[in-house]
Amino acid sequence: CGPCKALTPIFQSLSDEMGGQFAFAKLNGDSEPQLRQNLNITGYPTLIFMKDGKEVGRHIGGASRDQLVNMTNQYFK
């Protein structure tokens, strides 16, 4: 989808910058329907923030770089 494509370079940039502190992963929900169902993903893009195997935050829809940085800081610092 358009928002997913717009988010991809931002996500990759943050992964490169912050990957030493956090693990970043992408999932193509159309290719992985069972995992999409297990994670209760109902819209794209869906950002799920997890800590110690538990979901600590979720954002559905597009986001700017600043929004992603703020969400990461909110959930993990």
Catalytic residues: 1, 4
Contact assessment for residue 63 and residue 8, using Cβ atoms and an 8 Å cutoff: no
